[in-house]
Structure 1
């Protein structure tokens, strides 16, 4: 995130009748619900999302519709198109916001902490703990790789990657290849855990593209 001072004189028009497009992602095989909400404020849209999502029992996202005809496009305001596979750090961040909102609501209701497809969310990042795997909103939080049934080779490589970052210390430079190595390990984790969990690469720096 960055914040920049602005000058109100650098704009030439205003619009009090925006068109918002909201997406509600069902918990089963139904198609995603896509609804345009027009001539209201963003505050009204977010209030409506509580109803449309049944108090966050469904994943949802909101975009501002810009342009007309072939020039029409979307400016994402909350979340992202959940049906798309993220390809960079920004898209993973938006997916994370949607998932965390959904899982936090399930936690408040005392429901199992799983996504609509029944899988857990396992986060991967080095956080100065005994493991670089985490599961938000749970009592344990830090996840032992061995508890997930990960192969010995992958567990060893995962912990070695995390150890190299921790050895650098909080103020030292991390190994130059830590991001690329992390991506390679994440892909292996993603494949091994695919039946039971979505592995989210929370170490992914915003703006980095998928190689």
Structure 2
């Protein structure tokens, strides 16, 4: 765990690129900033430029994306030469495969559960997965971290359980009164079309009849 090594870490949300870098530098200690979906982050160039123009610090920025294709070449054209000299691209970096043995799966699960804010004093036993993956183990860990009563976690049903909870949350919070089919259509539409921000997404989703106001 990074915290055990004295390294703070956090996600850079949209709209807070340079601010996140400046706040991290002000801590004057090792910080790891993660930019997920970097290909759609609107302040990526400003964020990296801010990091380079500030005095040397212990701040590291990691960009995560499905690929480093056209969007990255476009960003490189807008970055100052000094910034490009600091960037190390490793498009072949991949997550290691999930462990197949029960002990290894339990370790990965427990690390993720604590990272998601689960009670460190709680004892949650993972049911070993026959066909494990990092996604399954982390989904099970997320559910376990938000539950205070379940002594066991089963990754084989974790994703289905997560979607059930999300569907219930959708029905409770939806301003449009849409049903489950509307939720599923919205997910499909968002996947196919995509949007950089929530404000950009809303008018796109409203084109779906079941979500129209």
TM-score range, shorter chain: under 0.3
> TM-score, normalization: structure 1?
0.26
The structure richer in helix per residue is 2
Larger relative contact order (C-alpha < 8 A, sep ≥ 6)?
1
Q: Which structure has greater strand proportion? A: 1
